[in-house]
């Protein structure tokens, strides 16, 4: 199959209507979309991604009304969050109605829904008669794509079309929010909308642990978003001293390291701004991963704004997690 990149909305729409896949730009990361109401189309997503089939998919809608069509028992606090943050990097976990099949939710009675804040994809969604099921458009376990080139690089030959929408402006996947019996907010996945923003609107939120957030989902697997090059997380200066500078790359939050050539370094935000850092995170990881390095030394961002979500991704990208020798930290081992 030949994979094309373009801005042809009509073509994208036709492909989706006939049950084919289209990679779509969103403000968070690029998604790999199919008609959420057509199981034959949805199954193609799992195949293209090599994704374990127990992972549920986010259903992307064009407006709030469409969301209410597919979900039930929406708590008032969910509506309030939607008013503030939709379209945007917020995914709500809500009881599903029958139209949403088990294949999409992995058998869960809840469905994840969101309205992406990207003009091209919003326009596409508003022209379609169905919502789009879409995971991030990367092979399972690898870094999420934030440009059409990233998608092409990884899925070339596996999908017919990539809608061009420029670089994703947020750069981190959406924050997934669910609600407990009392209607309180629970965070299932840290992401592009900060906890502070959510709490301003919805009050104190509870961040769920790996144990608590069921069904087990890829976003909660500890080893995820990983580059192929071993990535170590800690104090960069110390790691350079201890493990050597030879063939080493650096993923720093704000400062260049004096020992290693700048060509092998990526700075997430020279201004120490966590939003800017989030936007650069996945591209920087990919660039370093393509340099044939022995190791990548990375450091955490400050735990404010999007810093928590960035650190969550960095921890999952760590080499140690791939070695699976940290069982205390991994309640449910991936793959
Ligand atoms: O920003 C985003 O959310 C991007 C863009 C493309 O919208 N999508 C994305 O999808 O990150 P994905 O599939 O890579 O991650 C979605 C996460 C997964 O961890 C999945 O298991 C979880 O959401 N999820 C989806 N539906 C769920 C459900 N019904 N219950 C619990 N978790 C769910
Ligand atoms: Mg993903």
pLDDT confidence of residue 253: 98
Is a pLDDT exceeding 80 seen at residue 222?
no
Is a pLDDT exceeding 70 seen at residue 333?
no
Q: Whose CA is nearest to atom 18 of ligand 1?
A: 219
Contacts of 201 (CB under 8 A, 6+ apart): 80, 81, 84, 85
Give me the sheet containing 231-233, strands edge to edge. 231-233, 295-298, 248-252, 265-267
pLDDT confidence of residue 327: 31
Ligand 1 nearest-atom number relative to CA 30: 6
Ligand nearest to the CA of 112: 1
pLDDT confidence of residue 107: 78
Q: Which of 290, 285, 294 is nearest to 252 (CA)?
A: 285
Identify the weakest region by mean pLDDT among 97-101, 219-223, 278-282, 303-307.
219-223
Stretch 18-42: mean pLDDT:
97
Is a pLDDT exceeding 50 seen at residue 334?
no
The more confidently predicted of residues 176 and 332 is 176
pLDDT confidence of residue 97: 97
Ligand nearest to the CA of 140: 2
pLDDT confidence of residue 211: 65
Separation between Cα atoms, residue 204 and residue 261, nearest integer Å: 44
29, 112, 114, 188: which to mutate for ligand 1, most atoms within 8 A of CB?
112
How many Cβ atoms sit within 10 Å of the Cβ of residue 28? 29
pLDDT interval class at 225 (50, 70, 90): low
- Residue 334 Cβ < 6 Å to ligand 1: no
- Is 163:60 a contact under the CB 8 Å cutoff? no
pLDDT interval class at 181 (50, 70, 90): confident
- Is 200:84 a contact under the CB 8 Å cutoff? no
- Residue 55 Cβ < 6 Å to ligand 1: yes
Q: What are the φ and ψ backbone dihedral angles of 24, each rounded to 5 degrees?
A: -120, 140
pLDDT interval class at 53 (50, 70, 90): low
pLDDT confidence of residue 326: 34
Stretch 199-215: mean pLDDT:
83
In whole numbers, what is the pLDDT of the chain averaged over residues? 90
Stretch 156-167: mean pLDDT:
97
Stretch 205-230: mean pLDDT:
69
pLDDT interval class at 218 (50, 70, 90): very low
Is a pLDDT exceeding 90 seen at residue 214?
no
pLDDT confidence of residue 14: 98
pLDDT interval class at 130 (50, 70, 90): very high
Separation between Cα atoms, residue 281 and residue 19, nearest integer Å: 33
Stretch 152-165: mean pLDDT:
97
Q: Give residue 107's region: left, alpha or beta (phi > 0; psi -120 to 50).
A: left
Q: Which of 266, 305, 257 is nearest to 143 (CA)?
A: 266
Q: Which of 115, 80, 324, 94 is nearest to 226 (CA)?
A: 324
Stretch 169-187: mean pLDDT:
94
The more confidently predicted of residues 173 and 108 is 173
pLDDT confidence of residue 330: 32
Q: What would the two tokens of residue 6 be?
A: 């373009």
- On whether the pTM is more than 0.75, the answer is yes
Q: How many residues does the chain have?
A: 335
State which H helix or E strand residue 178 sits in.
Answer: strand 175-179
Q: Whose CA is nearest to atom 31 of ligand 1?
A: 215
- Is 247:295 a contact under the CB 8 Å cutoff? yes
Q: Whose CA is nearest to atom 7 of ligand 1?
A: 31
Identify the residue whose tokens are 């969050």.
81
| Percentage of the chain modeled with pLDDT above 90 | 79
pLDDT confidence of residue 140: 83
- The alpha carbon of 125 and the centre of ligand 2 are apart by a number of angstroms equal to 20
The more confidently predicted of residues 222 and 7 is 7
Q: Whose CA is nearest to atom 3 of ligand 1?
A: 174
Is a pLDDT exceeding 60 seen at residue 26?
yes
Q: What would the two tokens of residue 223 be?
A: 């080893």
Q: Which of 222, 277, 278, 210 is nearest to 29 (CA)?
A: 278
pLDDT confidence of residue 328: 30
- Residue 219 Cβ < 6 Å to ligand 1: yes
């Amino acid at each position: 199959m030949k994979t094309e990149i373009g801005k042809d909305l009509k073509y994208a729409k036709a492909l989706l209507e006939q049950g084919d896949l289209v990679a779509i730009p969103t403000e968070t990361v690029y998604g790999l979309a199919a008609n959420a109401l057509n199981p034959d189309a949805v199954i193609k997503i799992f195949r293209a991604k090599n994704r374990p089939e127990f992972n549920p998919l986010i259903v992307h809608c064009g407006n709030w009304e469409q969301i209410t069509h597919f979900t039930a028992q929406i708590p008032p606090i969910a509506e309030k969050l939607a008013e503030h943050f939709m379209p945007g990097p917020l995914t709500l976990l809500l009881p599903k109605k029958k139209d949403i099949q088990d294949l999409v939710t992995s058998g869960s009675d809840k469905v994840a829904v969101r309205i992406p804040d990207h003009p091209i994809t919003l326009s596409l969604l508003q022209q379609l008669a169905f919502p789009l099921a879409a995971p991030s458009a990367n092979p399972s376990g690898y870094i999420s794509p934030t440009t059409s080139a990233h998608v092409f690089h990884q899925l070339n030959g596996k999908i017919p079309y990539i809608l061009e929408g420029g670089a994703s402006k947020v750069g981190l996947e959406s924050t997934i929010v669910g609600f407990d019996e009392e209607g309180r907010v629970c965070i299932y996945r840290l992401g592009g909308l900060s906890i502070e923003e959510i709490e301003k609107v919805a009050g104190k939120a509870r961040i769920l642990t790996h144990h608590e957030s069921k069904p087990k989902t890829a976003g909660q697997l500890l080893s995820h978003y990983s580059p192929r090059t071993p990535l170590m997380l800690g104090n960069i200066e110390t790691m350079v001293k201890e493990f050597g500078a030879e063939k080493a790359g650096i993923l720093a939050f704000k400062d260049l390291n004096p020992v290693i050539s700048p060509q092998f370094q990526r700075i997430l935000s020279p201004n120490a701004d966590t939003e800017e850092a989030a936007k650069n995170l996945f591209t920087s990881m990919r660039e370093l991963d393509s340099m044939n390095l022995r190791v990548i030394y990375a450091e955490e961002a400050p735990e404010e704004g999007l810093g928590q979500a960035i650190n969550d991704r960095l921890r999952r990208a760590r080499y140690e997690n791939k070695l699976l020798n940290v069982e205390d930290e991994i309640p449910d081992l991936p793959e």
